[in-house]
Amino acid sequence: MSATATGIGITRLGQIAVNAKDVERAAGFYQDVLGLKLLFKALPGLAFFDCGGVRLMLSRAEKPEFDHPCSVLYFAVPDIQAAYGKLKESGVHFEDEPHLLAKMPTHDLWMTFFRDSEGNLLALMSEVTR
């Protein structure tokens, strides 16, 4: 089945929304700590970042029932140990240390989980070639 054979033609994820109680604080975290490129800010309280061609939108929850942490975002990095060390030096709170999650046929899958400035659970992942 080809990428466009899904009925309506979905080929990739275009945007992800992440809840933030304080959009300015969250924008600082994603820009200054994670190093994502700020695309633009819009009023009221929106910030958009480029994450490898996928747009990441930070915003306040529109309704109380939407005010909860987001789904886990997995950021792919080439060297998980180096990324872990750099973020830890920046004061990022990690839930665990980088660990081997699975041995795949051609690589090992490593992960570690951390929280953003708004309490959302995020992860670093790295596919390490053997």
Encode pLDDT of 63-90 as tens digits.
888 788 778 899 999 999 999 999 999 9
With a cut of 80, say whether residue 24 has pLDDT above it: yes
Q: Is the pLDDT of residue 96 over 60?
A: yes
- Which CATH number fits the domain 15-129, given the four candidates 3.10.180.10, 2.60.40.10, 3.40.50.10470, 3.60.21.10? 3.10.180.10
Higher pLDDT, 106 or 13: 106
SS3 labels along 56-111? EEEECCCCHHHCCCCCCEEEECCCHHHHHHHHHHCCCCECCCCEEEEECCCEEEEE
- The mean per-residue pLDDT over the stretch 49-72 comes to 88
Q: Is 66 exposed, middle or buried (0-12, 13-18, 19+ CB in 10 A)?
A: exposed
Quick check: 15 and 59 in contact, CB under 8 A? no
pTM for the model stands at 0.77
The rounded mean pLDDT for the chain is: 90
Q: Where are the domains of the chain?
A: 15-129
